[in-house]
Amino acid sequence: MKATVILQKCPKVNKPFGIRLQQMEDGEWYRTWAFPIDEKRAAGEGYQSTQINSALPATDDYPGCPYCGEKGFLYDSNCGGKISCYHGENPFTCPWCGQTYTEFSTTDKLPYQGGDI
């Protein structure tokens, strides 16, 4: 079994959290668990250097963000492929880089970056 962790940030509290990913038999990386993590520990674990290509589907029991409960996310290619919780707001301001967006698109697979702390 292959597993890894990437970071996501919750804009409601402006804190990162870890997402455990597991590569399933179909070859896709699934979100299986989420856990709060402070920035120093995340940097020490090296989660910010994780890189994968995936649509990041969630397992049925994926709990979502440990801060706001959101299971959806927004991918920001302008700040290195980082993800954050997304509640459908428009405009949306990325909690990683501060960029504000009013237009969005979808895609099947994206290159995810763990996120700089």
Summarize pLDDT for 13-34 with one digit per residue, the tens.
Answer: 999 999 999 999 999 999 999 9
From the list 106, 83, 87, 105, the residue with the least C-alpha distance to 96 is 83
Q: What is the pLDDT of residue 106?
A: 65
The SS3 assignment for 30 reads strand
Integer Cα distance of 59 and 44 in angstroms: 27
Q: What is the pLDDT of residue 77?
A: 84
Predicted structure pTM score: 0.86
* Average pLDDT over the chain, rounded to an integer: 88
From the list 113, 74, 110, the residue with the least C-alpha distance to 93 is 74
- Report percent pLDDT > 70 for the chain: 90
- Give residue 104's domain range: 2-113
The ranges of the chain with pLDDT < 50 are 115-117
- Give the total number of structural domains in the chain: 1
